[in-house]
Amino acid sequence: MPTPRTDRAPARLVVLVSGGGTNLQALLDATADPAYGARVVAVGADRDGIEGLARADKADVPTFVARVKDYTSREHWDHALADKVAAFDPDLVVLAGFMKLVGPDFIARYGGRTVNTHPALSPSFPGMHGPADALAYGVKVTGCTLFVVDAGVDTGPIVAQSAVPVLDDDSVDTLHERIKVAERAMLTEFVGRMAREGFTITDRKVRFGTP
Ligand code: GAR
């Protein structure tokens, strides 16, 4: 969604989740304020029975599920996922703890307006185990990154980052929980800005506002 809607209608967010959905909840809470400039119009998941879907249901937000195993190939799943997202006509797609890589078809349709939140400071520790990898490496500072999704693994243009300390007695869980506190604040602040101000991407640099 490079430019804000001229009619000032709230931007339409579709949020994809795979688990507990605390980042989704932060967005649901933030979007309850009309001044936020966006609303969650649907929540999708790659699996059933997760807390993230229950949170959406509780907030009266429609849900959908696209499971890889229900399709004959990863490409068919990717196409179906993009179709399910398209049914809700989003301005911005937010991957909030979505533990699948979206594929070429999805990116062809929603590239440039899909963001993902990753629990590490990119380009360090990409992939599924950001907090564990940071802890194992012994870094003293880690954090979270909001980025515009591209074809790589956590490689897209960076919208925002937030740093958190790694403490001597951290476990993966305590570190990840500390990251998630920063992540929820980052996600709500910067998705709101993307919705209200619009943004451009030039040479990997994400800037707010219209050109
Ligand atoms: C978040 O920390 C998010 O960055 C991470 O999963 C967590 C979801 O928490 N995503 C990834 O690691 C994606 N590679 P939540 O379900 O409580 O929002």
Class of domain 11-198: alpha beta
End-to-end CA distance of the chain: 13
Ligand 1 contacts CB of residue 126 (under 6 A): no
Between the alpha carbon of residue 201 and those of residues 29, 64, 110, 116, the distances in Å are 28, 30, 14, 15
Using pLDDT thresholds of 50, 70 and 90, give the confidence band for residue 6. Answer: very low
Between the alpha carbon of residue 105 and those of residues 76, 151, 158, the distances in Å are 9, 10, 22
Has residue 1 got a pLDDT over 70? no
Per-residue pLDDT at 210? 85
Mean pLDDT score of the chain: 96
Q: At what angle do helices 130-137 and 172-197 cross, to 10 degrees?
A: 130
Q: How much distance in Å is there from the Cα of 71 to the middle of ligand 1?
A: 25
**Active-site residue set:** 118
pLDDT tens for each residue of 95-119: 999 999 999 999 999 999 999 999 9
Instruction: Give the separation between CA 30 and CA 132, rounded to whole angstroms.
Output: 29
Has residue 5 got a pLDDT over 90? no
How, if at all, do strands 199-202 and 205-208 pair?
antiparallel
Per-residue pLDDT at 173? 98
Ligand 1 contacts CB of residue 183 (under 6 A): yes
Instruction: Give the separation between CA 169 and CA 88, rounded to whole angstroms.
Output: 44
Q: How much distance in Å is there from the Cα of 118 to the middle of ligand 1?
A: 7
How, if at all, do strands 11-17 and 38-45 pair?
parallel
Q: Whose CA is nearest to atom 8 of ligand 1?
A: 97
| Domain boundaries of the chain, sorted by first residue | 11-198
DSSP-assigned letter for residue 196:
H
Per-residue pLDDT at 2? 53
pLDDT tens for each residue of 150-195: 999 999 999 999 999 999 999 999 999 999 999 999 999 999 999 9
Q: Whose CA is nearest to atom 17 of ligand 1?
A: 22
pLDDT tens for each residue of 114-149: 999 999 999 999 999 999 999 999 999 999 999 999
Q: How much distance in Å is there from the Cα of 6 to the middle of ligand 1?
A: 32
Between the alpha carbon of residue 51 and those of residues 10, 12, 42, 45, 90, the distances in Å are 26, 22, 15, 11, 22
Between the alpha carbon of residue 122 and those of residues 115, 116, 198, the distances in Å are 14, 12, 23
